[in-house]
Structure 1
């Protein structure tokens, strides 16, 4: 019998790549998703890569009964990875209540249903946004969690606080919260990747859409930061490296190697790249010149965010392996594949 793992938000960007890694590692995977920002076609992509079609349960976890029913159906699962959340920073500023309601009610329902069904291993998809504007870099897990700049980021901070409180009276449950820095790239097959609905909020899909002619130009928000070329520095991580970290975290819980009932780990490369360095790396890999324009700083942006990933390197025995050129190349291959499909070529 294969070990069954539930993956909420499993047809999304990071969820789908993690599902591939889980299946390739011999787990039985059940995807739980309301498809609000993804597609059933992702299941086909996962099957095409792995040769295995994961079961998809179309469920809205903000509804307690739907959540309870799907967990009762799969109460033989040994663990859960919780990706399900709205994640567009800009949209969260415009619709804060929608973000708080969706991200926190789905988490609370999922936590309760997990415990009710004796599924004792829980991995949470968190974010480096929980650090707000840190006093210095690189950022380690013992840095203070400051007020994030967006309702999205704040929903992640509050989510971690909810889990900290919940676990006090539910000591059979073990939680690992993984704080991502900037995931980019796509599966090397080009079959699955990041497909934002509407205008992209993140740098890399915006770059690839400009290169593909979907968008006219890329806006670079500020070139007067105290960095080596004036543009903000971020820590980018390949989405497949990120997926592999979830496997390491899951194994840690299943093997009872966790040292506390709730642990947190930064997931990043520990290296920082400026916006202009990302642009130039893309131009080099793709052979395309990007149309970009430097404009005013964007509210909430900080000069530099870089992880200190030592704890994950040591405790999870995980390290980001794929370099910037691999990240950029895989994102571009994915974008070209999408455009071929859209244009019917």
Structure 2
């Protein structure tokens, strides 16, 4: 895998969560795993303190270097590069405080700014605590929608598409962080078409798949059983499939969701597009819980993230598994190389 020309910009995430822990754990394995160079955006004092606490548990020397993005790649071999955002973070492990939301958001904003300015090749985000952000006035459903706002140009808001990727399965939910009742309201032929077009385009441009095979789920049990268990397959999904096939996209379906995800079925497609959040995320978290990666498609830059939360209960203990972050860093590097 060719290395991208610039390092990856890694966000702090929720300061009281396991973001700092898994970042440090991943950096300690940089040589063993041949990880791409990255730098962490955040409060250098908080990172240094967490590194000091974890050094005893992990039994390793952890060096921190405060750098600029331009010096991060050189520093990476000998120290974890930290690029200061100027936003202080004071939260103790497992205990978010008033500094948590401003520190997390400043890190995301700076990461996007760096990649759009060419200082970084991709954005990799550590987990945020949405409840903490909501209490501070955050008005987006999640990371994905906030990144779309930061990516907007001249008032044009891109359509962000959430993909969960692993070597064994890639899934995309058409509707994302909304209730099931609201998902049924949002689901339209137009939304399915625009989502699948983005998926097909980026599977080719950023994943190197010349002709992606995309499996489209039904909404109802047994894909509606010819209308006897629901009509959305006939009135919403089938018209979308017709448009997509006319576009030349290899889109198959609507398929019963309960038979799409066994091993033999997974071998017949490159990505499964599902109608709502849990329909897509339950199968991938079942088959690839530790190494699935959250990828945001539809943005003018690459963004990946670990597919797990802040794990306040184990923050600062050294018990957090960095596997998903490691997978996110590797995938971001691969996508950046394919896009260069």
The normalised TM-score by structure 2 is 0.37
Higher relative contact order (CA 8 A, sep 6+): 2
